[in-house]
Amino acid sequence: MPPGLDRLDHETIVGWLREADPAVLERLWARADAVRAAHVGDAVHLRGLIEISNHCIRHCLYCGIRACSDGVTRYRMTAAEILECAREAKRLGYGTVVMQSGEDPGLTREFIADRVRAIKAETGLAITLSLGERSDEDLKAWKGAGADRFLLRFETSDPGLYHRIHPSLPGTLSDRVAQLQRMRAMGYEIGSGVMVGIPGQTWEILARDIELFRDLDIDMIGIGPFLPSPRTPLGGEAAERLRASADEQVPNNEEATLKVVALTRLVCPEANLPSTTALATIDPATGRELGLVRGANIVMPNVTPPAYRVLYEIYPGKACIHETAEACQGCLERRIRSIGRTVGSGPGGRRRSGPAAVTSSLLPTSARGRGDPRPGRH
C-alpha cells in the first residue's frame, strides 16, 4: 500500500523515502508544493552568499577544502572585499547576506564582529553567518554586533556516522546539535541541514534526520546531495568501506534529495528551505526549479568574486562558479519567474504562526545533552 500523507510518523517517512513509483510520488510533490504555497507563499527569497575564506582546520571526510586537502590555494577575503560584496548584494536587491567559510580561526571574533557591524551600518541587510563550530563567546559577540542567523548543518543525525565522517578536533567532542540549541537561546534564527547519500547513510537514518529538523524546530534547512570530491577520503576507497548494503544505502541522486526536501516541507511547514547549489550541480538544467516546486522557497546566489569562488571547491563542478553576480541574479530570476513564482523582497526571515520555538527541555531525549551517544546526538 502506498504511504499516506496525513500522519508523518517514522514508518511513513521511511515509506516515502523508499517509494520509487513516479505516479505515487506525484502525490508527495503536489502536497509539498501546496504546503509551501499555504505557509510561506510564492515569493522566493534571495540570499547573497559570500564565501569569505577557504581556510579550514577540520578534516571532514567529505569536504574538498578540508585542512589536509592537497592542491587547494587558500584565501581569506579582506574587510574591504567583504563589504564590497555586501554592497553588491544590496545593489542586486537581496535582503540578506550569508558569510560562509571553512572553520577558520584566522577569522577572529573581532574581525567578524567588525564586518557584521560595518555591513549592518551601511546596508541594513539581514546577516547570516556560516562559519562552523565556534565558541559561545564568539557567537554571542557576533549576535551582539548584529548578526541575525547562523547556519550549521548537523550533516547526519546518526552519531556513529557523524563521528566517522566529521572527526572531532583533538580534546573536544563535536556536537553541532548542542551548538544549534545554544544559538537559539542566544536569539539567532538557526539553520541546519544534511547531505543526502553520504556513504553509510540508510533510509532509516535519513528519516530520523527529517524528524530531528522537526524536533529542533529548525528555521532554515539546507538539503543537498552528497557530491564526492576526489580530494577527499569519501571521493575514494573509504566510500566503498562505509557504504551500507545495496537495499539500505541512500543514493546521492536528485530524486532522493527532492524526496527529503518535500518531506521536510511537510513536517516543517514554516521553515525556509533553499533549493541548493548542490542540487543545481547534479541537474544544471532543472535542479533549481525542481527544488522550488517540491517544497523549497529560498535561493542563495553567489556574490563572491569569481576569482575566489573557484577556490571554494567543496566538491567538483559546482554550479554557477564562473558567472558574475549580475549574471547569476538574471539567470535565477528568470528561472523563478518561469515556474510562476515571484522574487521576494526584504529579509525573508522565518515565519511563525504557531507557538514559539521548542525549548531544549521539550525535546525528545534523543536530541538533548552534550556528547550523548544516542541517535540525534553528536
Per CB under 6 A, residues contacting ligand SAM are 62-63, 100, 102-103, 130, 132, 152-153, 155, 195, 224, 226-227, 229, 278, 314-315
Give the integer Cα–Cα distance in Å for 65 and 76. Answer: 13
Q: Give the nearest distance from C-beta 239 to ligand SAM in angstroms.
A: 11
CA-wise closest residue to 195 among 133, 277, 81, 271: 277
**First-residue to last-residue Cα distance in the chain:** 35
Q: Give the nearest distance from C-beta 376 to ligand SAM in angstroms.
A: 17
Give the integer Cα–Cα distance in Å for 220 and 149. Answer: 9
Residue 207 has which C-alpha cell? 528519516
**Residue placing its CB nearer to ligand SAM in the complex, 274 or 348:** 274
**SS3 assignment, position 9:** coil
**Residue placing its CB nearer to ligand SAM in the complex, 153 or 184:** 153
**Residue placing its CB nearer to ligand SAM in the complex, 229 or 329:** 229
**Residue placing its CB nearer to ligand SAM in the complex, 155 or 215:** 155
- Residue 137 is given by DSSP the state H
Question: Among positive and negative, which fits the CA dihedral 321, 323, 329, 330?
Answer: negative
Residue type, 372: D
**Residue placing its CB nearer to ligand SAM in the complex, 42 or 255:** 255
Q: Give the nearest distance from C-beta 100 to ligand SAM in angstroms.
A: 5
Q: Give the nearest distance from C-beta 179 to ligand SAM in angstroms.
A: 10
With contact defined as beta carbons under 8 Å apart, do 273 and 297 qualify? yes
- Residue 363 is given by DSSP the state S
Give the integer Cα–Cα distance in Å for 59 and 168. Answer: 9
Helices 136-145 and 109-123 sit at what angle, rounded to 10 degrees?
Answer: 20
Residue 293 has which C-alpha cell? 516546486
**Residue placing its CB nearer to ligand SAM in the complex, 64 or 95:** 64
Q: Give the nearest distance from C-beta 312 to ligand SAM in angstroms.
A: 8
With contact defined as beta carbons under 8 Å apart, do 194 and 218 qualify? no
Q: Give the nearest distance from C-beta 102 to ligand SAM in angstroms.
A: 5
**Residue placing its CB nearer to ligand SAM in the complex, 316 or 330:** 316
Q: Which residues are bridge partners to 190 per DSSP?
A: 150
Q: Give the nearest distance from C-beta 338 to ligand SAM in angstroms.
A: 26
Q: Give the nearest distance from C-beta 155 to ligand SAM in angstroms.
A: 6
**Residue placing its CB nearer to ligand SAM in the complex, 74 or 91:** 74
**Residue placing its CB nearer to ligand SAM in the complex, 53 or 366:** 53
Q: Give the nearest distance from C-beta 207 to ligand SAM in angstroms.
A: 18
With contact defined as beta carbons under 8 Å apart, do 98 and 50 qualify? yes
**Alpha helices for the chain (secondary structure H):** 10-18, 22-40, 79-91, 109-123, 136-145, 159-165, 176-186, 203-216, 237-242, 254-267, 277-282, 287-293, 306-309, 325-338
